[in-house]
Amino acid sequence: MLAPAALVLGAGPAEGILIWAVVFGSVIVHEAGHAIAARRGGLPVLGIYFSWIPFVGVGPGPLRARGLAALAGPAASLSLAGALALWPAAREQLVPGAAHLWLGMPAGLALGFNLLAAGINLLPFRPLDGGLALQAGLTAWRGAPAAARTMRVLGAVGALALGALAGAVSGELGITIGLLAFVIALAAINTRVPASANGS
């Protein structure tokens, strides 16, 4: 979800407006996937929030429902990308536009963004969806303290690896990876290890 911020830095006003229009619509689809799955799983949905990354606030509930709700966002992004991929014009714009990432027609831009959003969000680091789903599974398996400790270590390692990758890559992609590493590092630092665990 952070990639468009880096793209806008190098884009003019017209491209910037196009990027944010496509991204906003795609983000709504992604977050709606979370919200719908959460409600179907019996989790109270508190709202959609826009911070470093957009997220759906949900109340307490079963770990299985929380894990499935976390994975529903990437599933919604992949579904939208799959629908767009049926449109030949979108597929044609995806590869030729690679030199100027996504700066093609809106359908090609949306296809590329949704593929990237799903891929990034499935990484196993908090606060990304893959990390939240993994933590829910680890909590059910080993308890909340062990899960939190594991996620802290995993997040620190992931942030260091992505930070090193960002240093090795230049341009918009390097900025994007660096922003992602920063957010993952913050989440790892702020992951609290509860004194005792129960997790549903």
- pLDDT tens digits, one per residue of 190-199: 888 776 544 3
Q: What is the mean pLDDT of residues 130-138?
A: 96
pLDDT in the model for residue 5: 52
Query: Which of 109, 102, 71, 60 minimizes the C-alpha distance to 87?
Result: 109
Residue 164 has pLDDT above 80, yes or no: yes
Domain extent, residue 34, equals 3-190
Tell me the pLDDT band of 118, cut-offs 50, 70 and 90.
very high
Tell me the pLDDT band of 172, cut-offs 50, 70 and 90.
confident
Let me know if residue 198 belongs to a domain. no
Residue 168 has pLDDT above 90, yes or no: yes
pTM given for the model: 0.82
**Count of structural domains, the chain:** 1
Q: What is the mean pLDDT of residues 170-192?
A: 86
Let me know if residue 200 belongs to a domain. no
Let me know if residue 26 belongs to a domain. yes
Let me know if residue 64 belongs to a domain. yes
Cα(20)–Cα(191) distance, rounded to whole angstroms?
Answer: 31
Query: Which of 1, 154, 175 minimizes the C-alpha distance to 73?
Result: 1
pLDDT in the model for residue 73: 96
Let me know if residue 195 belongs to a domain. no
Quick check: helix, strand or coil at residue 120?
helix
The sign of the CA dihedral 61, 62, 67, 69 is negative
92 or 13, greater pLDDT? 92
Query: For tokens 């997220």, what's the residue?
Result: 55
Enter the tokens of residue 166.
């960002």
Cα(150)–Cα(20) distance, rounded to whole angstroms?
Answer: 35
Q: What is the mean pLDDT of residues 109-134?
A: 92
Number of helices (H), then strands (E), belonging to the chain: the values are 8, 2
- Non-local (6+) Cβ contacts of 91 within 8 A are 85, 108, 111
Residue 139 has pLDDT above 90, yes or no: yes
Let me know if residue 81 belongs to a domain. yes
Q: What is the mean pLDDT of residues 121-136?
A: 95
Let me know if residue 197 belongs to a domain. no
Let me know if residue 109 belongs to a domain. yes
- Other CB atoms within a 10 A radius of the CB of residue 63 amount to 19
Cα(86)–Cα(98) distance, rounded to whole angstroms?
Answer: 19
pLDDT in the model for residue 16: 65
14 or 102, greater pLDDT? 14
